[in-house]
A and B are shown apart, each in its own frame.
Chain A
Amino acid sequence: MTAARWTVLVLGDAMRGDDGAALLAADNLDATAAPHTIRRVGMLGPEDLVTALADGPCLVLDAVRGITPGDVVELPLDRVADAGGPQPASSHALPAGTIVRLAEALGARLEAGTFLGIGGERFELGDPISPAVRRGLAGYKRAIARRLGTTGGSRCA
């Protein structure tokens, strides 16, 4: 049996403090996680989601504002487009909600997408990763591995 291969879209900018948290987490994912392809896209574009969701399940990783720094939040991708709640913090060319809705209008199956974020507190250029996010990274990586390992289907490669 072949598992659906996950596409992991990693957002953020390593020079903007906690905005680089998802990049750090993706660098050392649990080797036992289900089959996946990592794409470090920095700034999310609708085409990234359309392409990823056409191939199978998609996990979007980013730092967020609106929750305790270091905490992890998991949302169906569809919810990212909603106003309020935790919002991705990366300096995307278009707001994340707009990108998600645009991808949906272009035929992306949002139900196959999941957003997994880590709360951040420092997002200015030149900021270091905050202590709270550094402490939360291990839990973030576990959450990523758990998501890849549970919803992506069988681990048979």
Chain B
Amino acid sequence: MHATDERTYHVDELTRVEGEGSLHLRVRDGEVVEARLRIFEAPRFFERIVVGRTPDEVIDIVARICGICPIAYQLTAVHAFEHLFGVDVDPQVRSLRRLLYCGEWIESHALHVYLLHAPDFLGLPSAIELAQLDRAIVERGLRLKKIGNEILTIVGGRPIHPVSLRVGGLYRAPRPSELAGLRRELDEARELALETVRMVAAFDAPAFAARRLLVSLRHPDEYPMNEGRIVSSDGLDLPAHDWEDAFREEQVEGTSALHARTHGGEAYLLGPTARIALAGDLLHPLAREALAASGQADELATNVFRSILARAVELVHATAEAAELIDAYRRPAQPAVAWQPVAGSATWATEAPRGLLFHRYDVDEAGIVRKARIVPPTSQNQAAIEADLARFAPTVLDLPHEEATRRFAQLIRSYDPCISCAAHFLDLRIEEAPQ
């Protein structure tokens, strides 16, 4: 590269990053002095439109934030309101909510592993070429995704923007007979998920070891989904509703984006990699065995390219847990309990497929939302992504343009940035900074 060169990379393949954004790298003497990932953040819009709404209206509205992870947005809001209002739901309702989360993880992880990320590891431009090369691989991913969708359809009412969740419970609890067909499909899904782990464990991943601050929920008895305490790899441990005690958002100069950091200014990483590092002992035994058999459990915590394995392991967990939840299910006498609004701040965090999602709603004595804050995992991961891009760039800048572009794209996809919470295409620009 010449000192005065400005090289621009248009990375159309990053349509496989779901959303819209751009990456700008400034390079001096072969080192990246600035990496800036710009991402469109739909949740910020929703922070305004939920103002003046009742809690149950909020549950319906936030489902629209993301077509991939609506359950995460809905359940985070549900738990926030129920925590503030002192609502205890029927244990079977709790199980159904966990089943919904399993469905969303299955759908989201299958989409990412098979259609978005696997082509990178196989040196293919997209899932189209993967299907042409080995149709059975893509069909396996689509089958898994479909089973995840079916959970959302049966328990959530429909696969996109589900409608069954409400504060106090569900609008309707399915009959056990409605779950019977799903139960049989989950046996198949579990086997497909185990095959997924074996497939991705055989992928060659670029060497890229880095210690990062990892953050996730941790529950005493269960793999973290919708309840637990916020923990980190440096010893943080606080209730799920106290996210603001440890983290803050800051405006990034020259952009409209907010990035989250610890109060000490540290970037941190969320998502399946962090969950397995911090709560892997609570994975379903089948998932733990699959992870151990991969031989990559240690590398998983330091090499973000291995996040595809973390998603595959969580596919095993979600399929196995979903089957057990259905086996133990008894239809509750009432799908929901009554509640009374209480003025105050409703706050909670749950584990979306891409990582910890935090909501805060300030409500008045009638339960009407007066102010809202929605902090999606993608914007929390953003500072860590930029730090990793800066660390990774020197290893690829001397590669041919096309190969360097492919490696950057693969790294960004490793974080699975979310669709409405992130990007439709990514414009990657590498600029040689003046001396």
A residues adjacent to B (C-beta < 8 A) = 13, 15, 40-43, 45-47, 50, 91, 93-95, 98, 101-102, 105-107, 125-126
Contact = CB atoms under 8 A, between A and B. Distances in A.
The size bracket of the interface on B is 20 to 34
A47 B111 contact: no
A106 B67 contact: no
Given A93-B18, A106-B135, A43 B67 contact: yes
B420 to A, nearest CB: 7
Contact of A43 (B42, B45, B160): B160
Interface in B58-117: 64, 67-68, 111, 115-116
Nearest to B160: A42
Given A43-B67, A47-B142, A47-B146, A98 B132 contact: no
A47 B132 contact: no
B216 interface: no
A46 B131 CA distance: 11
B45 A125 contact: yes
Interface of B: 15-16, 18, 42, 45-46, 49, 64, 67-68, 111, 115-116, 126-128, 131-132, 135, 138-139, 142, 145-146, 159-161, 419-420, 424
B67 A105 contact: no
Given A15-B64, A91-B67, A107-B135, A101 B128 contact: yes
Given A91-B67, A98-B126, A45 B145 contact: yes
Contact of B15 (A40, A95, A106, A107): A95
Contact of B142 (A42, A46, A126): A46
A15 B63 CA distance: 11
Given A93-B18, A98-B15, A126-B45, A13 B132 contact: no
Contacts of B142: 45-47, 50, 106
Given A15-B64, A42-B67, A105 B15 contact: no
